[in-house]
Amino acid sequence: MQNIRQLASKFRRAIENAKNEGAFSGDQMFRNFPQGCCGITSELLARFLIDNDIKIKLTYVCGTYRDPSFELPSHAWLKINKNTVIDITGDQFKYYPEPLYFNEAIYVGPYTDFYNLFETNVEEICDNYFPLIDNYIRNYISRKKLYEIILKYIN
């Protein structure tokens, strides 16, 4: 688990460094990292973990918080086995009131009350063939290009 935590931290730092240097200026979403970037970041992190020989079964999870007093926020993270979370964008919830308040930039550990708030919409296995589909959408950088940018900042 320590190796996963180190790789997740390294990946998060690379994203922050790339953002600070303006490498995501061509991407309307990623230039606001971590806000609104949990899904794509989880996909990219899965690819990074796989590329770094993490052999544990990874699952991409996306869920929605269903409470009429909120705008139905969603969140995505990776899961190992049935109860271990890998999340490098949880701090996007640091401005939310309880119960959605969460201020962990890098979280690797068991499910907490925060993660249990989300009703799971998607669970997808990330295997060795987990693709970074290289679709280009106007005002966004493709997943493949984002991944290449982030890798340049890995140290």
| Average pLDDT per 10 consecutive residues for the chain, totaling 155 residues | 95 97 90 93 95 92 86 91 94 93 97 96 83 61 90 94
pLDDT at residue number 135? 58
pLDDT at residue number 81? 87
* Count of structural domains within the chain: 1
* DSSP summary character for residue 53: T
3-state helix, strand, coil in the chain (%, to 5): 35, 20, 45
pLDDT at residue number 147? 94
pLDDT at residue number 118? 96
Domain that holds residue 39: 2-152
Residue 143 phi/psi, 5-degree rounding, is -55, -45
Q: What is the DSSP string of 58-76?
A: EEEEEEE---TTTT--EEE
> How many whole angstroms separate alpha carbon 59 and alpha carbon 56?
10
CA angle 151, 154, 91 (to 5 degrees): 95
pTM exceeds 0.85: yes
Residue 141: count other Cβ atoms within 10 Å of its Cβ.
22
